[in-house]
């Protein structure tokens, strides 16, 4: 049976077959991925009204690709107080945000309580807003720095009001590349274990992959297959998010920056290989909105959200610092031939924007 026939029969692919998908021409690959996408979601494209909050850029770890944390290249340190975080949350929720996506650097100065207290303050004031926070990298940092077990950190997160975990910190699972990119940070095995532990508490999370730097296609396929294996056991990943590497203001140079074609192939391959992760998210902050809209025809069914403010990718050159207006977002999706669907953080449909 040929590779194309295997995909059409919805058979599981191996590492070698995943790598071989990259050798197909873009349109054949796109058609294969689009068929699966349409089978599951038709022409619906999901988004949510969310607010990204990045409460501190003070970081005990050093990742070569990061332009966000305070370093010699970015000497402007900041750490928000709980009151500042609550004020931002309040403003955004009053304007319609239903999800707060809170990601911090690994701040060694203010204790576990600085993290957890912020969640409790938000939860007390807003009982229903969805708090998506604490990457596995942050959980591992609290474990290393304060001697708590992963389970203790997770239990504190749940008690403080965190609903789901974002997919950050995964980078690339291949140990050799990871060692070069972000030595000392959460290992691949630990990242996967932390998500599994979280899923076993009945909670959902996302998974990212940072690509377009020094990794190979084989590393990307390996990354996806490690996620597929955990997902077989837990079913706890909502979405897979390939993050396109942004190259400004950081220490990672001499990269294989991907072409648009390579980015689209990666979305399509994610759709084909990850037969057990329902949503493939084209995070427009890293892919650009134009490519994210095209990615809808290459397997992606989710475009993240309106974001409002964003500090991590925009520090490295992305045009996402001020998010996107809701009306514009909806119009762009409609004009690209898809049906915008506002979802909640767990992918329940809230509003379908039919054609006018
Ligand atoms: O883990 C850091 C990445 C991630 C750069 O779960 C960079 O719904 C590109 O995880 N170029 C944090 N990326 C953001 C993240 C995320 C984003 C959107 C949605 C979700 C979700 C999660 O940002 C980090 C890291 O991989 N990152 N520097 C850079 N130069």
Tens-digit pLDDT profile for residues 1-32 = 899 999 999 999 999 999 999 999 999 999 99
Spacing, Cα 166 to ligand 1 middle (Å)? 9
pLDDT of the residue at 72:
65
- Neighbouring residues of 343: CB distance < 8 A, sequence distance ≥ 6: 46, 47, 48, 302, 349, 350
Q: Which two tokens stand for residue 80?
A: 């928000």
Q: Whose CA is nearest to atom 17 of ligand 1?
A: 168
Spacing, Cα 8 to ligand 1 middle (Å)? 32
pLDDT of the residue at 95:
92
233 in a domain, yes or no? yes
Spacing, Cα 39 to ligand 1 middle (Å)? 29
The yes-or-no verdict on residue 242 having pLDDT over 90 is yes
pLDDT of the residue at 349:
97
Domain that holds residue 251: 22-336
Minimum mean pLDDT among 160-174, 193-207, 250-264: which range? Answer: 250-264
Nearest to 188 by CA among 237, 223, 147, 148: 223
Mean pLDDT of the chain: 95
Q: Which CATH number covers residue 281? A: 3.20.20.70
256 in a domain, yes or no? yes
Atom of ligand 1 nearest to the CA of 169: 1
Q: Whose CA is nearest to atom 8 of ligand 1?
A: 166
pLDDT of the residue at 308:
79
With beta carbons less than 8 A apart as the criterion, state whether 310 and 321 touch.
yes
pLDDT of the residue at 258:
94
Backbone torsions φ then ψ of 2, nearest 5 degrees: -75, 165
Distance CA 31, CA 34 (A): 5
Condensed to tens digits (0 to 9), the pLDDT of residues 65-82 reads 998 898 766 778 999 999
Ligand 1 contacts (CB < 6 A) are 65-67, 103, 166-169, 171, 206, 208, 210, 241, 243, 245-246, 250, 283, 286, 304, 312-313, 316
Q: Whose CA is nearest to atom 12 of ligand 1?
A: 168
pLDDT of the residue at 230:
98
2 in a domain, yes or no? no
With beta carbons less than 8 A apart as the criterion, state whether 205 and 193 touch.
no
Q: Whose CA is nearest to atom 29 of ligand 1?
A: 246
pTM: predicted TM-score of the whole model, two decimal places: 0.97
Distance CA 285, CA 101 (A): 14
Q: Which two tokens stand for residue 318?
A: 């992305």
Best of 208, 240, 277, 288 to mutate for ligand 1, by most ligand atoms within 8 A of CB?
208
Atom of ligand 1 nearest to the CA of 167: 6
Condensed to tens digits (0 to 9), the pLDDT of residues 87-114 reads 999 999 999 999 999 999 999 998 999 9
Tally of domains in the chain? 1
In the sheet with 279-280, reading across from the earlier edge strand, the strands are 205-211, 237-244, 279-280
Best of 308, 313, 319 to mutate for ligand 1, by most ligand atoms within 8 A of CB?
313
Spacing, Cα 10 to ligand 1 middle (Å)? 30
343 in a domain, yes or no? no
Atom of ligand 1 nearest to the CA of 206: 6
The neighbour count for residue 283, using CB atoms within 10 Å, is: 25
Spacing, Cα 138 to ligand 1 middle (Å)? 13
- Neighbouring residues of 51: CB distance < 8 A, sequence distance ≥ 6: 88, 89, 92, 93, 97, 99, 100, 101, 307, 308, 309
pLDDT of the residue at 297:
98
13 in a domain, yes or no? no
Distance CA 32, CA 225 (A): 19
346 in a domain, yes or no? no
154 in a domain, yes or no? yes
pLDDT of the residue at 356:
66
353 in a domain, yes or no? no
Condensed to tens digits (0 to 9), the pLDDT of residues 282-326 reads 999 998 999 999 999 999 999 998 887 878 888 888 887 778 889
- Neighbouring residues of 52: CB distance < 8 A, sequence distance ≥ 6: 101, 102, 103, 307, 308, 309, 310, 311, 323
Helices 26-41 and 260-273, interaxial angle, to 10°? 50
Distance CA 226, CA 209 (A): 11
Spacing, Cα 104 to ligand 1 middle (Å)? 11
Spacing, Cα 152 to ligand 1 middle (Å)? 25
Q: Whose CA is nearest to atom 24 of ligand 1?
A: 168
């Amino acid at each position: 049976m040929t590779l194309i026939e295997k995909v059409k029969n919805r058979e599981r692919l191996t590492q070698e077959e995943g790598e071989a998908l990259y050798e197909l021409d873009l349109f054949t690959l796109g058609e294969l991925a689009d068929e699966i996408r349409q089978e599951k979601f038709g022409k619906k494209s999901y988004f949510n009204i969310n607010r990204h909050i990045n409460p501190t850029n003070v970081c005990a770890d050093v990742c070569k690709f990061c332009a966000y944390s305070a370093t010699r290249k970015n000497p402007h340190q900041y750490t928000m107080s709980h009151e500042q975080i609550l004020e931002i949350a309040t403003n955004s929720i009053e304007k319609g945000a239903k999800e707060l996506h809170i990601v911090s650097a690994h701040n060694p100065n203010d204790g576990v309580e600085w993290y957890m207290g912020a969640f409790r303050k938000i939860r007390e004031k807003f009982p229903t807003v969805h708090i998506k926070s604490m990457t596995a990298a942050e959980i591992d940092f609290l474990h290393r720095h304060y001697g708590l077990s992963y389970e203790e950190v997770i239990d504190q997160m749940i008690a403080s009001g965190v609903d789901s975990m974002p997919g950050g910190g995964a980078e690339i699972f291949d140990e050799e590349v990871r060692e070069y990119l972000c030595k000392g940070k959460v290992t691949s095995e630990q990242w996967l274990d932390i998500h599994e532990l979280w899923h076993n508490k009945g909670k959902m999370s996302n998974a990212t992959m940072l690509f377009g730097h020094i990794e190979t296609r084989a590393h990307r396929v390996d990354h996806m297959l490690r996620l597929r294996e955990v997902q077989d056991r837990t079913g706890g990943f909502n979405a897979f998010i390939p993050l396109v590497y942004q190259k400004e203001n950081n220490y990672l140079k001499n990269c294989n920056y991907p072409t648009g074609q390579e980015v689209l192939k990666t979305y399509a391959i994610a759709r084909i290989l990850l037969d057990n992760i329902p949503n493939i998210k084209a995070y427009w902050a890293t892919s650009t909105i134009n490519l994210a809209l095209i990615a809808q025809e290459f397997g992606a069914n989710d475009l993240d959200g309106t974001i409002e403010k964003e500090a991590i990718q925009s520090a490295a050159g992305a045009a996402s610092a001020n998010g996107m207006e809701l009306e514009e977002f909806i119009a762009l999706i409609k004009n690209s031939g898809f049906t915008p669907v506002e979802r909640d953080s767990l992918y329940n449909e809230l509003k379908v924007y039919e054609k006018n």
